[in-house]
């Protein structure tokens, strides 16, 4: 059973940066594409970014392009995925979740309904 734990959330001022981590246990992330999602109060969960098994393919939602960068660890464990968030805006405030999608190619998706495993989320608050 794959277990995912997000960390790195917190309170940051507009224009600031945070780096979220998604750490896996139980299984390695080798066979999984990983997605980051977020859910703001009163809103539906939405896809933010995803990265393929190899890390060679990434996707970003329009509202984070140029500000967020997804990456995955290159060490032998290969069990962590990161989301570097720069130039944060108040509208980025949400609980951020990572999720794993078992795939057999080198693509990725930010379709909420397609994920096999979810973490419990980490809260990001952007406020002055």
Handedness of CA 81, 73, 30, 79 (dihedral sign): negative
Average pLDDT over residues 79-103: 96
Distance CA 52, CA 68 (A): 16
pLDDT confidence of residue 77: 62
| Predicted local confidence at residue 108, as pLDDT | 95
Instruction: List Cβ neighbours of 59 (8 Å cut-off, separation of 6 or more).
Output: 49, 50, 108, 109, 110
Task: Record the tokens describing residue 78, joined without a space.
Answer: 């290969």
Percent of the chain scored above 90 by pLDDT?
Answer: 82
């Amino acid at each position: 059973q794959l277990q995912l734990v997000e960390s790195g959330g917190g309170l940051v001022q507009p224009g600031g940066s945070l780096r979220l981590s998604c750490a896996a246990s139980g299984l390695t992330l080798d066979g999984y594409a990983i997605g980051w999602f977020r859910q703001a109060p009163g809103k539906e969960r939405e896809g933010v970014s995803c990265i393929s098994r190899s890390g060679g393919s990434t996707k970003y939602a329009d509202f984070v392009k140029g500000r967020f960068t997804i990456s995955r660890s290159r060490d032998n464990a290969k069990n962590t995925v990161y989301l570097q968030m720069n130039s944060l805006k108040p509208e980025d405030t949400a609980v951020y979740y990572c999720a794993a999608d078992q795939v057999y190619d080198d693509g990725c998706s930010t379709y909420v309904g397609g994920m096999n495993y979810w973490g419990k989320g980490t809260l990001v608050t952007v406020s002055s």
